[in-house]
Amino acid sequence: MLFRQLEYFVAVAQERHFARAAEKCYVSQPALSSAIAKLERELNVTLINRGHSFEGLTPEGERLVVWAKRILAEHDAFKAEVRAVQSGITGTLRLGTVPTASTTASLVLSAFCSAHPLAKVQIASRLAATELYRRLRDFELDAVIAHPAPTDSSDVELIPLYEEHYVLLSPADMLAPGVGELRWPDAAQLPLALLTPDMRDRQVIDAAFADHGLTVTPQVETDSVASLFAQVVTGNSACIVPHTWLWTTSISGSTSADVRAVQLVDPSLKVQIVLGTNAAGPGSPVARALSACAQQLTLDEFFDAQLRSLTRQR
C-alpha cells in the first residue's frame, strides 16, 4: 500500500467524481483508477461502487476513508516535524474561524507569526462552527477559532481564548441620545440585519429574544460581519455583533457621528470562544506552535477594556 494510493482514494471520496479527483491529484484518470483498483486488490475489498461513473463508497470504503485521512495527516505531520527540527516551524497553518472571530484571529496569529516567520497562514473565515469542526476532524484544517463544539469533543483539544458580549450597532438616529444600554425586547423593535441561522452567534441571539417570548425576522441575513456593518453605515438597519469585533472599527471606544454602539442587557450574555485543534495523534507542528502562543494571551483583558469604554458612553 502506497501513500499515493490513499491520496487518490481520498480525493475520489471528496470529489465524488473520478475525473475531478484525477485533476486534483495532477494525474490522468486511468492512472488514478488503476492505483485505486490495485489498492482494492491488496485489501481484497471493493471500496467504490462503480457504474458508468462514481456511485458512492461501499461500507468498507466508508471505513477506509476515515483511516486514510488520518494516515495521510500523520504522514504530513511527520514530514513537517522533521523540517521543524532542521529549520524551525515552516509550512502552512490552515486556520478556520467563525465570521465574528475573523478579526480577532489576527491577535492570535500575531505572536505566532512573529515567533515563526517561515510559516504561512491560510484563513477560512465564513464557515459555521459545525463545518469548522468537521473539517478539523477530517484533517482539512489544523486549528479553528469558534464556539466550543456542541457535541462530544473528546477528539478535539480546546483552549479558552475569550468571552463574547453582545452589542447593538445602529445608525445614530435610531437610538435616543445618551442611551448606553438596550434591552433585547427594545432591540427587537428595530429593523435588524443579522447573521444567517446556521451561525452559532445567530442561534445565541435568537435564544436571547426567545427568552422574552420574541421571534425576530431580519430584513437582511448574511454570513459576513463586514456586510452587517455596511447595512448599519447605509442607515437601513441595526445589527447585533460580539463586542470583540468593535476594536477594528472606527466606533471602537467612542461614539461615531453616524453609528452608535450600545451593550445589550437583560440578559448580558457571555459566550466562550476557544481555539480547537485535533486531539488525534501527536498533531501538526504548526498547530502545536499556535496552541503554545494562544496559551500566553490575555484577550479578555483587551476586549473588556473595549466594553468598559463603550458602557461609559451613557
Q: In a structure prediction context, what are the per-residue pLDDT tens digits for the chain, which is 314 residues long?
A: 688 888 888 899 888 888 899 999 999 988 988 999 989 888 898 998 887 778 889 998 888 888 888 888 777 777 776 676 656 788 899 999 998 888 889 999 998 999 889 899 999 988 888 899 999 988 899 999 999 876 666 788 999 999 999 999 999 888 888 788 899 999 999 999 999 998 889 999 999 999 999 999 999 999 888 889 889 988 889 999 998 888 877 554 444 558 888 889 988 888 999 999 988 766 788 898 999 999 988 898 888 877 776 655 54
Give the separation between CA 51 and CA 237, rounded to whole angstroms: 52
Sign, CA torsion 280/282/288/292: positive
Alpha-carbon distances, residue 41 vs 10, 34, 37, 128 (angstroms) = 17, 11, 6, 39
Give the pLDDT confidence score for residue 314 in this predicted structure. 44
SS3 assignment, position 123: strand
* Residue with grid cell 453616524, as numbered in its chain: 258
DSSP state of 90: -
Q: What is the dihedral of CA 41, 42, 44, 48, to 10 degrees?
A: -60
Q: Rounded to a whole number, what is the distance in angstroms from the first to the last CA of the chain?
A: 68
Which letter, b or e, does each residue of 27-38 get, where b requires 16 or more Cβ atoms within 10 Å of its Cβ?
Answer: beeeebbebbee
Cβ–Cβ under 8 Å, residues 143 and 274: no
Q: What is the pLDDT of residue 151?
A: 66
Regarding pTM above 0.75, the answer is no
How big is the chain, counted in residues? 314
- For residue 158, the model assigns a pLDDT of 92
Q: What is the pLDDT of residue 191?
A: 94
Greatest distance between any 2 Cα atoms in the chain: 75
